[in-house]
Amino acid sequence: MLTSFASRADLLRSQEIKIGDTSLLPQFLNYCSQFDAGRLFFTAPYYDENFLKRLGGKFLRSRVSFEIVVKSVEAALSFQNTLTGLAPVSTYVYENLHAKVYVFESQRRDLVALIGSHNPTVAGSEKNLEVGVYIGAKFRTPEWASIFELRAHLRNLARPFQVFQNER
């Protein structure tokens, strides 16, 4: 197992476990943006528009879709409005959300995850002291199965944003 703190900007790998601080979220997103296509799933109890715009710009030239779990219908609408046109976006709502989980799935079905305290905000990726664990896993390894199950569990707890729109 490796560590990565602000003074070290090591590149992440597809099959490793790394513990790090605030710099781990930008490293994770940079790693994910190297792929031509894939799917980025993340939970966002708190976020800011600047982070969303940076995120959209980072994946502008790729075929990456987004799946996002947020705390409110208003947040889901904000994500839809900010990222629509940049990439396909599926939003889910779970009102008691506090988890900060990022999972990227490549075209080869490999999974990488960042689980930690990083909110998807500029402060969470640059200023605040954050900590997290990065896990990279090849398709169908035990680590892959754990990441896959975590993503499925979070997805299943939340309700698709379209359900809320249809109830209005």
**Which CATH number characterizes residue 66's domain?**
3.30.870.10
Residue 38: is its pLDDT beyond 60? Answer: yes
Q: Does the reported pTM lie above 0.75?
A: yes
pLDDT at 24: 93
pLDDT digits (tens, 9 = 90+) for 115-127: 999 999 999 999 9
Q: Which two tokens stand for residue 8?
A: 């070290």
How would residue 60 be classed by pLDDT, with cut points 50, 70 and 90? Answer: confident
Q: Assess whether pLDDT exceeds 60 at residue 18.
A: yes
Say how far residue 34 (Cα) sits from the centre of its chain.
15
Query: Do residues 32 and 112 make contact, with C-beta atoms less than 8 angstroms apart?
Result: yes
Q: What pLDDT, in 10s, does the model give residues 63-79?
A: 999 999 999 999 999 88
pLDDT at 7 over 50: no
Higher-confidence residue: 15 or 45?
45
**Mean pLDDT for the stretch of residues 21-27:** 92
Count of structural domains, the chain? 1
The answer to whether 131 touches 117, Cβ cutoff 8 Å, is: yes
First to last CA, the chain: 49
Percentage of the residues of the chain whose pLDDT score is greater than 90: 68
Distance in angstroms (rounded) separating the CA atoms of residues 118 and 42:
11
pLDDT of residue 8: 47
pLDDT at residue number 17: 92
| CB of 43 closer than 8 Å to CB of 165 | no
Q: Which domain holds residue 25?
A: 2-167
